[in-house]
Amino acid sequence: MSERYETLAARIEERFDEQVERVDSICGELTYEVNKSALRDVAMALRDEATFGFEVLIDVCGVDYLSYGSDEWTTDSATGTGFSRGVSRREVILDEADTFDPRRFAVVYHLLSVNNNTRLRLRCFTGEDNPPIVPSLVDVWSAADWFEREAFDLYGILFDGHPDLRRILTDYGFIGHPFRKDFPLYGNVEVSYDTDKGRVAYQPVSIEPRTLVPRVIRDDNRYSEDLKDTGNG
């Protein structure tokens, strides 16, 4: 990581102390985890104080960590039943519980300082609340408006203080939050023209979900830090 970023990191840690926690990066980016309660103060300070000067909010996005680190591939038993051999499709988990794993939903903010030419990433976990909720940053950066609406639409994350939190990308009258990991890729409903009713009607989806390429996790030691500097590894 460049010296400029180390200086910035030192300043952030000095200014915010326990409100933020640094996350290691494998590619030289600066990421901080911010406490939900401190998010607004940190954002305000990052925008207004000249040492940081993050005038531009590049992006806000939701992340659902429900199935992080789990794969769909079992190789300890083999069957001869054809294509789907070895694929263990995960059961869909419904979020009917009153509370979530506190590290399930996160909102990730990408900031840019035009004057200092630096970037910064903030991550704020939503905690146990169902529905998940974080404070809105619309009055800090106007650009947050639509990005927060998008995160609400796709992940169901509420933004406390947002002036107009409506769905933005999905259809009028859509049910559910499609980018959550427990929302099936093929969706829940499909539309077709119903000749009896004389209109387009919704019905439960008829497609069987398939896994074309199973998700596998491989520990590739070519990327381990110990081997990287030795040249031919």
Partner 1 sequence: MAEIQSYTMNFGPQHPAAHGVLRLVLEMEGEVIQKADPHIGLLHRATEKLAESKPFNQSIGYMDRLDYVSMMANEHGYVLAIEKLLGVEVPIRAQYIRVMFDEITRILNHLMWLGAHGLDIGAMTMFLYCFREREDLMDCYEAVSGTRMHATYYRPGGVYRDLPESMPKYQESKFRSKKEVDRLNEAREGSLLDFIEAFTDKFPACVDEYETLLTDNRIWKQRTVNIAVVSPERAMQLGFSGPMIRGSGIAWDLRKKQPYEVYDQMDFDIPIGVNGDCYDRYLVRVEELRQSNRIIKQCIEWLRANPGPVIADDHKLVPPSRVEMKDDMESLIHHFKLFTEGYSVPVGEAYAAVEHPKGEFGVYIVSDGANKPYRVKIRAPGFAHLSAMSEMVEGHMLADVVAVIGTQDIVFGEVDR
Smallest gap from residue 196 Cβ to partner 1 (A): 28
Binding-site member from 93, 114, 191, 205 for partner 1 (CB under 8 A): 114
167 Cβ contact list (under 8 Å, min separation 6) = 149, 152, 153, 174
Instruction: Tell me: does residue 185 bind partner 1 (CB under 8 A).
Output: yes
Laid out side by side, the sheet with 105-113 consists of 20-23, 31-34, 118-125, 105-113, 56-64
Write the DSSP symbol of residue 231.
S
Is the Cβ of residue 12 or residue 153 nearer to partner 1 in the bound state?
153
Instruction: Tell me: does residue 52 bind partner 1 (CB under 8 A).
Output: no
Q: Is the peptide bond before 102 cis (omega within 30 degrees of 0)?
A: no
Instruction: Tell me: does residue 91 bind partner 1 (CB under 8 A).
Output: no
Cα–Cα distance, 87 to 29 (Å, whole number): 35
Residue 143 tokens, joined: 């650009």
Is the Cβ of residue 197 or residue 222 nearer to partner 1 in the bound state?
222
Interface residue list for partner 1 (CB under 8 A): 25-27, 29, 31, 55-59, 61, 63-64, 68-69, 71, 108, 110, 114, 117, 119, 121, 141-143, 145-147, 150, 167-171, 178-179, 185, 212-213, 215-220, 222-223, 228
